[in-house]
Structure 1
Amino acid sequence: MADAADGKLKDLSISQTKKSKKDGAPKTAAKKPQQQKKKIEGAALIGIDVAKEDDLGEWYQQVITKGQMISYYDVAGCYILEPPSYAIWENIKSWFDAKIKTLKVRNAYFPIFISADNLEREKEHVEGFAAEVAWVTKGGKSDLEKPVAVRPTSETAMYPYFARKIQSHRDLPLKLNQWNNVVRWEFKHPMPFIRSREFLWQEGHTAHLTKEAASEEALQILEWYAGVYQDLLAVPVIQGTKTENEKFPGADYTTTIEGFIPATGRGIQAATSHCLGQHFSKMFNITVEDPNSKEAGKSEHIHVWQNSWGLTTRSIGVMILTHGDRRGLVIPPRVAEIQVVVIPVGVTAKMTPEAKEDLYKKVQSISDDLKSVGVRVETDYREGYSPGWKFNDWELKGIPLRIEFGPKDAEKGQVTTSRRDIDNKDEARGETKVDDLKEAIPKLLEQIQSDMFSRAKKAYDEHRVQLTNWDDFVPTLNGKNVVLVPHCEGDKCEDEVKAKSARTALGDGVAEDKQAPAMGAKSLCIPFEQPDGGVKEGTKCINPTCNTPAKSWILFGRSY
């Protein structure tokens, strides 16, 4: 099933020029003299020492490792998800799992191994993954009689089961979901969360009696995927349909949510929900007796209508790239493992043990009060570290809100708060009465969540440019934008647009940002919300050599 990992698995690396270390960690590119000067002033040893805007690849590597999101592993392209990142995945899982269960989707688990016969049974489907399939050829020291594949997706593993399980229209709908891992043994530059050889996801597979029921479910799932990004991760997305070129192999059509990375101006596929039609049910002979034909005195069998849909841990990478800043991670409160850290301040060598114990008791009371209203809180009593060092450490990890409490705060009956999402440290600070914390802190966390989404949406809106003139196409892309253009929806024309907008096709006479990716623009989606209700009659396709009427506005962009 194609999803955020993209069925065709295009190049996802941030830096086109970086190679991979043997353990999968990208090498740090040599800095030019002017880049050395741009290193963040005063960066602590534990902090990020390169600006996001100067070297996104190096910045990303530092943020995810120093922020304790991942650790590298001795198999290239595979990574250890540390507790803070896995907690984000757990929060996504809890939210989405509750949603799909309202549709009576049930969780199951199918083996990670798929027989060669089953995998190769559906050739059109396999073509999208063939280059990335990992095969097991030995068991111990013995060669296997037939190699078995490590699942790149589970259609071919699950649908023989569907054929056995569905014997009557009364067995429909059959709705199963897996929370599992998949392996795609690709050889392009790895990038943790965004592109890896093994990743976590959920994959839903359902069978329905009618096309209408399948279509209704596919759109509902897509709406919830948008909710994961927008309501939980504070990342804006555009909902739409993939073009014929970009749809999932074997599907009737693919619906998608498309995100945007402002730092690179590139689009990114966030999750997909596929209407598979009857393609797989015909291949795997999943049929039921048509209840309507039986009522008419006939006995006809029909193939069921199927869907598949998936969301991956790529979502965490998109969140990091969207919100992270020069100080490290910025994690939205709704998914953060720790929402608030409480740090005692004003503890000096002259403080008596009794005064220190009293302060710590009050800090613990603040923590207990917040926990009682559902806030996820950590207290930092670490000895031997200054408050400033602790502030930097928690900021690096992206904790949404810091509470400082010292003797002077105790006298005033208040705490000092500092929001992680606001870059200006003076503007980030505030004061709250201790007696008001149970009500005020949850409200402040929700405000942080809302403000993070608003800022990200504003950036996406400003970098989504509508145009009709081909001469503006590449310069607009080079301005770190995606473009909404009229297009004929022809697959060959789409290929031409991609080829014409690639760096190699532009020639020396075209002014271009040399930092821009070399690839051309591909179609991201046909947005559900069409400008002005759709293209006006007589509007031509953006491709100057096409000379065909446009059918819809299509979002194009360089993409991960």
Structure 2
Amino acid sequence: MTEASDQMKDLSVSEPAEKKEKDKKDKKEPKEPKQKQKPVQKPKPQQKKKEGAALIGIDVSKSVDLAEWYQQVITKGQMISYYDVAGCYILEPASYAIWEAIKAWFDSQIKVRGKVRNAYFPIFISADNLEREKEHVEGFAAEVAWVTKGGKSDLEKPVAVRPTSETAMYPYFAKKIQSHRDLPLKLNQWNNVVRWEFKHPMPFIRSREFLWQEGHTAHLTKKEAAAEVLQILDWYSDVYQELLAVPVVKGTKTENEKFPGADYTTTIEGFIPATGRGIQAATSHCLGQHFSKMFNIIVEDPTTKEGSETKHIHVWQNSWGLTTRSIGVMILTHGDDRGLIIPPRVAEIQVVIIPVGITAKTTPEAREQLYSEVTWIAEVLRSVDIRVETDFREAYSPGWKFNDWELKGIPLRIEFGPKDSEKHVVTTSRRDRDNKDEARGETAISDLKEAIPALLESIQSDMFKKADAAYREHRVTLTDWKDFVPTLNGKNVVLVPHCEGGKCEDEIKEMSARKDDGDNTAVDTKAPAMGAKSLCIPFEQPEGITPGETKCVNPNCKDFAKSWVLFGRSY
């Protein structure tokens, strides 16, 4: 995975903040069971902390302090707990359930349609294997963690903790593939990797240890390998768009940004509206014959005619990976000032049912009757595979519970009280709607089996439409350099004509960074210091580039543009 070389402080989560968060309490139980707490209100535009806000809620606005907002959302929303090793985090059940949903869907695709088999390779890689491939190692050298001791004794040779598994798996490929009949060989593993970064850690987005899947395949021909690269990319796009309701742009990385040792890298690129920065979402690489030549993975050419000298060919290889970064992108895309908003298809709990309307005058018999009806409603929904939770906690008021479940991002809340029971309906409240009147609805109990699944699908669809509209609005096409930096400063990514040259790309990054030497290249003095890099060459290319005539957007470049390239500040 290629990461940005810079880390903006507007969305970094430092370790001191982790320690501070440990001392906070996510919830504060009311002294009196009957006490109600008012829903947490959104802050005014320039207000950072909300005075007197309940500890259960988010006390900072996403638009005011994104770093603090993110930290509170992932901890109070019970996605992450901090750990005593810097840059490493505990994935709590709610976030791990999202990863399990992604894994279940993607695993089904690659096994059934892709004919890929799962395996597992050791986490340790010998120095000899890792260092056999110079270009590949250089891409990860600064991030490789090494084990140098076993107990109290120094190891004769240090071993690396895998940053990725090409060099761990390909000696096995060389042994396993002895004939063209052994092809294709398609293996995938679900594992953890370690990249010992020294940039600001950010849970899910940038951490020293993370979970992913990494697929490694070998093929007889370049054509077969190329077809798989694109198929995997389509499935990655579906993970984001169909499961996480996050829009992405599919494309190819430039030479500067491709995976070390690959022939070419295809990618899906996401976007974080709050910062206006792009983010690499997943990548699928065609490795060509680079690694097969390095590790001597060869087969006899099946087209060799009988009686002729047998020819041998190096296999064509691919690798592809998707990580838990996807969860962070989802949180940053959908979350609001009330907390998380989880798309229904990946939510651990899709619906929470809360009994309401119970007062001091309610008899024990009436209370039990209401609770019994709530339990029955839950069972009805479970019968149609809805993931349901009931909240019978009596020490908390309904309003407090509403805030609690909204903070956790549960897609749909059902309220059920004596008046609902009389009318044979339930009251619903969608988490994805800001306007409370628009969020609320009413469903007949007799229609629950059809109406609630349909409502969840509507929430899923509407979440994607909203995010997709935001991404499209902030992808700006331009051809004049004078518009480049101001457009970036408007929290956009830009689609520009470019020569695809590496040196030109480096120059654009330098020119679009804020300077402190009097150079006014960055028009907006409040612009981030980070320069723009290429995100991808989108597969969908607008018209407007004429070979040999259209100029590259870089005013210093003498070459003509080859394609429209998406540039932006990036994580």
Give the TM-score category using the shorter length. over 0.9
Q: Does 1:82 align with 2:92?
A: yes
What is the aligned partner in structure 2 of residue 21 from structure 1? 16
Cα offset for 1:506?
8.2
Q: Which amino acid aligns with 2:459?
A: I
Q: Distance in 2 between matches of 1:535 and 1:45?
A: 59
What is the aligned partner in structure 1 of residue 57 from structure 2? 47
Alignment of 1:367-406 (within 5 A): 367-406=378-417
Q: Which amino acid aligns with 1:499?
A: E
1:305–1:115 distance in 2 versus 1, CA, 3 Å: same
Quote the RMSD (CA, aligned, Å).
Answer: 2.0
Cα offset for 1:21?
1.9
Q: Distance in 2 between matches of 1:296 and 1:218?
A: 36
Q: Does 1:527 align with 2:522?
A: no
Cα offset for 1:514?
4.9
What is the aligned partner in structure 1 of residue 36 from structure 2? none
Q: Which amino acid aligns with 2:16?
A: K
Cα offset for 1:11?
3.5
Cα offset for 1:383?
1.1
Cα offset for 1:297?
2.7
Q: Does 1:124 align with 2:119?
A: no
Query: What per-residue deviation string (whole Å, max 9, x for no partner) do you get for residues 230-255 of structure 1?
Result: 00000000000000000000000000
1:306–1:272 distance in 2 versus 1, CA, 3 Å: same
What is the aligned partner in structure 1 of residue 79 from structure 2? 69
What is the aligned partner in structure 1 of residue 40 from structure 2? none
Alignment of 1:120-519 (within 5 A): 120-295=131-306, 297-504=308-515, 507=518, 509=520, 512-519=523-530
Q: Is the 8 A contact 2:47 2:64 kept in 1?
A: no
Q: Is the 8 A contact 2:514 2:525 kept in 1?
A: no
Q: Which amino acid aligns with 2:65?
A: D
1:377–1:493 distance in 2 versus 1, CA, 3 Å: same
Q: Which amino acid aligns with 1:464?
A: R
Q: Distance in 2 between matches of 1:534 and 1:308?
A: 32
Q: Which amino acid aligns with 1:94?
A: A
Cα offset for 1:20?
3.0
Query: What per-residue deviation string (whole Å, max 9, x for no partner) do you get for residues 130-176 of structure 1?
Result: 00100000000100000000000000000000000000000000000
Q: Is the 8 A contact 2:547 2:560 kept in 1?
A: no
Structure 2 unmatched runs, 5+: 24-42
Cα offset for 1:505?
7.0
| Secondary structure of residue in 2 paired with 1:343 | strand
1:513–1:40 distance in 2 versus 1, CA, 3 Å: farther
Q: Is the 8 A contact 2:46 2:64 kept in 1?
A: no
Q: Is the 8 A contact 1:241 1:256 kept in 2?
A: yes
Q: Distance in 1 between matches of 2:233 and 2:405?
A: 34
What is the aligned partner in structure 2 of residue 558 from structure 1? 569
Q: Distance in 2 between matches of 1:251 and 1:535?
A: 29
Q: Which amino acid aligns with 1:186?
A: E
Higher mean C-alpha displacement, 506-515 vs 389-398: 506-515
Cα offset for 1:108?
0.2
Cα offset for 1:14?
5.1
Cα offset for 1:425?
1.1
Q: Distance in 1 between matches of 2:44 and 2:22?
A: 20
1:18–1:323 distance in 2 versus 1, CA, 3 Å: closer
Q: Distance in 2 between matches of 1:498 and 1:535?
A: 25
Q: Which amino acid aligns with 1:199?
A: F
Query: What per-residue deviation string (whole Å, max 9, x for no partner) do you get for residues 512-548 of structure 1?
Result: 4455321100000000000027556511000001032
Q: Does 1:545 align with 2:556?
A: yes
Q: Equivalent pairs: percent with the same residue?
A: 79
1:298–1:150 distance in 2 versus 1, CA, 3 Å: same
Cα offset for 1:122?
0.4
Q: Distance in 2 between matches of 1:52 and 1:153?
A: 34
| Secondary structure of residue in 2 paired with 1:517 | coil
1:506–1:398 distance in 2 versus 1, CA, 3 Å: farther
| Secondary structure of residue in 2 paired with 1:503 | coil
Q: Is the 8 A contact 2:12 2:202 kept in 1?
A: no
1:14–1:227 distance in 2 versus 1, CA, 3 Å: farther
Q: Is the 8 A contact 1:525 1:555 kept in 2?
A: yes
Q: Distance in 2 between matches of 1:398 and 1:514?
A: 37
Q: Which amino acid aligns with 1:65?
A: T
Structure 1 unmatched runs, 5+: none
| Secondary structure of residue in 2 paired with 1:335 | coil
| Secondary structure of residue in 1 paired with 2:200 | coil
Higher mean C-alpha displacement, 277-286 vs 296-305: 296-305
TM-score computed with the length of structure 1 as normaliser: 0.95
Q: How many residues align?
A: 551
